Structure 1
Amino acid sequence: MLNFNFAPFPIVETDRLILRRITNDDVNEVFELRSNPETMKYIPRPLAKTTEDALEHIAMIEEKIATNNGINWGITLKDNLKVLGIIGYYRLQPENYRAEIGYMLLPEFHGKGIITEAVKRLITYGFNDLKLHSIEAVIDPENFASEKVLQKCNFIKEAHLKESEFYDGKFLDKVIYSLLNQ
């Protein structure tokens, strides 16, 4: 079974991006992400209503890092360290050598290849540094942009779960994509 250890926190870079630790100083950016109906459209979680909600989200991220149960990075451009998105491994399954990747990005940065670049780098991190055997992504079947990112990164559709989650008074479908370390 794998043992994850996120201390010291790994700062990860790509050609254009720095994936860095999110701190309480990023509360306004996290609030902007988590309170935006467009950003949260396919994430079945309540919208942040206050900066206190954003601070609670940051605290949850920190708790997962401290206990080695998950890791999230703030997505920033190399020339501007303002957080414009969040990416990370949300559910770690050390017994299965598997983890779930997830991400969100402010709408004004959509369509620029930022998420694809970040996902490709975290695939490398997941397989080389975390020693994962497989990475999964769980998306809303209507989230065509996310599906396109996963396909560009060589993920394969594994399942379409019908009405598998109940949120906000309705049943939601989920699609699972995965990538094996080969």
Structure 2
Amino acid sequence: MKERIILSLSTLDDVDFIVNKKTCASLWPFEDFISSDKEAVRKNVVEKINSDWYKQYIIKLDDPERTPIGELHIHWYVKERGSWEIGYCIFPEYRGQGYCVEAAKIALRYAFEDWNAHKVVAMCNEFNISSYKVMERIGMVREGIFREELSWQGKWVNQFFYSILDSEFRKRNINS
């Protein structure tokens, strides 16, 4: 099946776009704090773009315009253990169409095939059903629940912790 999206590795030319998305609270409804300090976010984004431990992508439609529809980041979680952490956001008008699953599968392929990851992890607010459904659709397993880990909307909520191992990824791709 032809992929409908591409992951475009961010460059310094993309900093303003990324900063605008990372400071837009409406894109992150399951996060309690989204910084509005664009200069601080900009400094952080530039630092990460120039690093070898953090990969920032813009998710784009594979169309002539290369329409941006979201962002995905993947970074070392615990380097010594060969683990990476993935996170993503699809813009509201493109949600529910499978684009995030496609993007996350591409990122997993990079992690396991290109970067020799042993494990990829992801976490989400227990109420972020769409996010944990993406994790499950790409073969991640819920390893645990961090009880009352996140402050969200004035109350403490649980955080789900998911992972996929390189052996699970390889087995899944051989059988699919």
Deviations 1:116-141 (A, max 9, x none): 00001111110011100000010011
TM-score, normalised to structure 2's length?
0.80
Q: Say whether 1:110 aligns with 2:95.
A: yes
In the alignment, does 2:53 pair up with 1:69? Answer: yes
CA contact (8 A) 2:58 2:70 kept: yes
Report SS of the residue matched to 2:121: strand
Match of 2:77 among 73, 78, 92: 92
Q: Among the aligned pairs, what percent are the same residue?
A: 24
Query: Of 121, 128, 133, which aligns to 2:113?
Result: 128
SS of 1:75's equivalent in the other structure is strand
- 2:130 and 2:151 mapped to 1: Cα distance? 23
Query: Which stretch shows the higher mean deviation, 140-149 or 26-35?
Result: 26-35
Offset of 1:16 from its aligned partner?
Answer: 1.5
More helix per residue? 2
- Quick check: 91-100 or 106-115, which moved more? 91-100
1:103 offset after TM fit, Å? 0.2
> What TM-score does the superposition give when structure 1 sets the normalisation length?
0.78
> SS in structure 2 opposite 1:125?
helix
Deviation, structure 1 residue 164: 2.1
Distance in 2 between residues matched to 1:142 and 1:109, nearest whole Å: 20
- 1:43 — aligned with what? 31
Q: Deviations over 1:50-99 (max 9, x none)?
A: xx71x653542331232323111011112133432110114432101001
Distance 2:23 2:80 in 1: 31
Q: 1:33 to 1:61 in 2, by over 3 A?
A: closer
Give the direction of change, closer, same or farther, for the CA distance of 1:164–1:40 in structure 2 (3 Å limit): same
Alignment CA distance shift 1:29-1:122 (3 Å) = closer
The answer to whether the aligner puts 1:181 opposite 2:169 as a matched pair is no
The secondary structure found in structure 2 opposite 1:46 is coil
Deviations 1:8-37 (A, max 9, x none): xxxxxx722121133445635752564142
1:35 and 1:85 map into 2 onto residues whose CA distance is 12
Q: Secondary structure at the match of 1:81?
A: coil
Aligned AA (1:63): E
User: Residue 34 of structure 2: SS of its match in structure 1?
Assistant: coil
| Deviation for aligned residue 1:166 | 4.3
Are 1:27 and 2:16 matched, yes or no? yes
- Among 124, 139, 151, the alignment partner of 1:154 is 139
